[in-house]
Structure 1
Amino acid sequence: MNLTRAGKVTSVVAVSALLALTGCTKKNDTGAAAGGTQAGGGSGSKQVSVAFVPKLQGIPYFEAMNAGGQKAAQDLGVKWLYQGPTTADAAAQAQIVRSYIQQKVGVIVVAPNDPNSMAPVLQEAKAAGIHVLTSDTDAPDSVREAFVEQASTEGIGTALTDELAKAMGKKGKYAIVSCGETAQNLNSWIAVQKKVTAEKYPNMQIVSVVYAGEDQNKATQMASDLMNAHPDLTGLVGECTSSAPGVAQAVKDAGKIGKVFTVGLGTPKSMAPYLQDGSSSASILWDVQNLGYLTAWAGQQVAEGKQFQAKNHVNDAMPAVEYDPTTKVLLLGPPLILTKDNVGKYNY
């Protein structure tokens, strides 16, 4: 996430259970794609079906989004379908989207691994009469009708930079361990980090940006390699929810807590031990389950022909979600900064 920027409302039990679904190939009773889940009850022909295709199925971040989508399905009466690839592979993701096109679902929502290669597939969905949205990660040059964004690009990139600068004393060299090299959201956050570093922190320098895919172990190895290659490195950023704990683990393994500082985009449960022992200074995120809920709600709105308002009351937890008609972006809200003091408040 690729987190490729930044806690985005159900129980821990629900999320934990969903983690076991990775690689599942059983079809459900409605003929959903392999690994799909549904909620919302009822089988009437007018029931809205919203299919969400994450970058990667089976990691805590997207399973938390799935839990939020299921909660929305229960509340709103829509059918929620969920399946992603078992590796962060653009071609495998496209195959899942095409499967949903063949099933003639009402709405397809994608968090694209590669927005450019996904764009023609989204065009296929539109041509088949299916509504198309993006969530978590955008494909801005596609036919998507709206992008459900977790927090502003500027907000996430700035928060990552500010929190790392605070930990590093506003000086020194740092590196970024990102995830998917083509992930639009991660690359946009990195662009902001470069800009903010140059303009706001002249005594800080980004020495390298590397890409670990959605592989936490690979992120740990890359962070270790970066510390070896740059002995004077004093900062690391984990740009997504797999690399954030990965870079913190590398610092812990190297015995450099307090010497090399890390921040990242990690889920609360994955980051809690690192925030507590000091191998991570802060995690930038949003309410992931609310992001899943908002995704399902947005799918229902477009399927029913409803227009988004400048401010939208989704539920009591999201009473004023902003919509920009120029960019067609629904913005969940400002980023959340997780620290050792508040990380225990979140259950995913």
Structure 2
Amino acid sequence: MRTTIRRGLAAVATAGVMTIALAACSSGAGTTDTGSSGPKTIAFVSASMGVNYWQWVSEGVKNRAGELGMKFVSYDSNNDQAKQLTNVKTAISAGASAIVLAPVSSASAAPVLALAKEKNIPVSFAAIGPTQDQKNYVSAVTADNEATGVAQGKFICDAAKKRGSNKVGMLSIPQDRENAQKYLAGAEQSFASDGCDLVQVIQSKILTLGEAVGLANDLLTAHPDITGIYAMYDEAGTASAQVLSERGLTDKVAIAATDGSPTTVKLVRGGKIQALFLQEALGQGYDATSQLGKALDNQPTSQAIALKQPMLTPGNIDTSALQDALKRIYPASAGAY
């Protein structure tokens, strides 16, 4: 297998599906939700509130905090590790009782956890966990990344072969995140067993649609013979569909994407994305906050929670199970399911 990583660009439902009360997302740094009441405050510190995914995680945190009678505040780290640590210091100084962290990178969580331990502030992770050597946290609510990597890899390998070759390209989230490493490990395992060639992995830096369009064009220009794209994040799936359409390649190159949004769900409905492996943005924020609520009440908690990622396809999108699963991905206010 020939895999190249371009460093210059480095950047489901669970067994019981729950309906989450919807509320507007607070995304400004240090913006307090004055509608909640209670003596305790949950702070959400995100990698970047400019990405829809983190806005929906934030809403999950806010919803659960409200149910627990807690106040809510969110901070935007703008993909900056120094800003992330400053946000945590600010949150603690402002009286946060607990923190839900969606870190800029896995390694960047270390100083946050050290500070939180010093101040006796419990921390839970949403979507992105810390490095394996870090233990001083309540819970890491992530997706089942490696298993999904295997399943997504197998799907796109089979789809690529049906389109005439075994060559697949990948648009990846930054590989300094433990979830990205697990996705890639699972995909590589699948490609090795199923006989596909992962010709290039291009990492995102800021996870925006505009950046992803450029990366998809770069991938197809460098490797015009690929017949499958493994899109490790939602914007990469959207961008790949757009670029394939512009190049007249929609029927020649398959796409398997991760996450889920009104845009990618619509693309699945239209057959422009062949498979979407759903990641619970709302659910991760909700469950990470639930674990903090237990910790604050001195109840038992679960340190590792890996939520399954069901595969959404044009054939199963309207089944009740998948429609229920989508309600833990993004709020109905964001768009149709």
Q: Does the pair score TM above 0.5? A: yes
Distance in 2, matches of 1:184 and 1:74, equals 30
SS of residue in 1 equivalent to 2:72: strand
1:193 aligns with 2:187: yes
Q: How does 1:80-119 map to 2 (within 5 A)?
A: 80-85=72-77, 87-119=78-110
The one of 258, 267, 280 aligned to 1:274? 267
SS of residue in 2 equivalent to 1:233: coil
User: What residue is the counterpart of 1:298 in the other structure?
Assistant: 291
SS of residue in 2 equivalent to 1:114: coil
CA change 1:123–1:191 in 2 (3 A) is: same
CA contact (8 A) 1:149 1:330 kept: yes
The one of 334, 338, 342 aligned to 2:308? 334
Q: Which moved more, 1:231-240 or 1:279-288?
A: 279-288
How many Å apart are 1:260 and its aligned residue? 1.0
CA contact (8 A) 1:7 1:288 kept: no
Q: How does 1:144-223 map to 2 (within 5 A)?
A: 144-169=136-161, 171-199=165-193, 201-202=194-195, 204-213=196-205, 214-223=207-216
Distance in 2, matches of 1:51 and 1:57, equals 14
CA contact (8 A) 2:257 2:277 kept: yes
Q: Which moved more, 1:109-118 or 1:214-223?
A: 109-118
User: What residue is the counterpart of 1:225 in the other structure?
Assistant: 218
Distance in 2, matches of 1:241 and 1:39, equals 31
CA change 1:251–1:135 in 2 (3 A) is: same
Distance in 2, matches of 1:286 and 1:268, equals 10
1:61 aligns with 2:53: yes
Distance in 2, matches of 1:56 and 1:343, equals 29
Q: How far does the alpha carbon of each residue in 1:282-341 deviate from its partner, in whole angstroms, 9 at most, with x for none?
A: 111133222221111111111222112xxxxxxxxxxxxxx4xxxx3023x321212234
The one of 273, 276, 287 aligned to 1:283? 276
SS of residue in 1 equivalent to 2:107: helix
1:134 aligns with 2:109: no
For 2:183, the aligned partner's letter is W
Q: How far does the alpha carbon of each residue in 1:63-107 deviate from its partner, in whole angstroms, 9 at most, with x for none?
A: 22222222212322122322223x323332222122112223111
Distance in 1, matches of 2:32 and 2:13, equals 24
Q: Which runs of 5 or more residues in structure 1 are unaligned?
A: 25-32, 309-322
For 1:49, the aligned partner's letter is T
CA contact (8 A) 1:38 1:70 kept: no
Q: How does 1:11-26 map to 2 (within 5 A)?
A: 14=23, 17-18=24-25, 24=28
For 1:187, the aligned partner's letter is Q
For 1:336, the aligned partner's letter is P
The one of 239, 243, 247 aligned to 1:246? 239
For 1:34, the aligned partner's letter is G
How many Å apart are 1:271 and its aligned residue? 0.1
Identity, % of aligned positions: 23
Q: Aligned residue pairs: how many?
A: 304
After superposition, the CA RMSD in angstroms is 2.5
How many Å apart are 1:236 and its aligned residue? 1.1
CA change 1:275–1:156 in 2 (3 A) is: same
CA change 1:329–1:160 in 2 (3 A) is: same
Q: Please give the TM-score of this superposition, normalised by the length of structure 2.
A: 0.81
Distance in 2, matches of 1:132 and 1:66, equals 15
How many Å apart are 1:122 and its aligned residue? 1.9
Distance in 2, matches of 1:304 and 1:138, equals 23
Q: How far does the alpha carbon of each residue in 1:226-268 deviate from its partner, in whole angstroms, 9 at most, with x for none?
A: 1111111111122123222222222222221111111111323
CA change 1:73–1:329 in 2 (3 A) is: same
CA contact (8 A) 2:167 2:197 kept: yes
How many Å apart are 1:343 and its aligned residue? 4.5
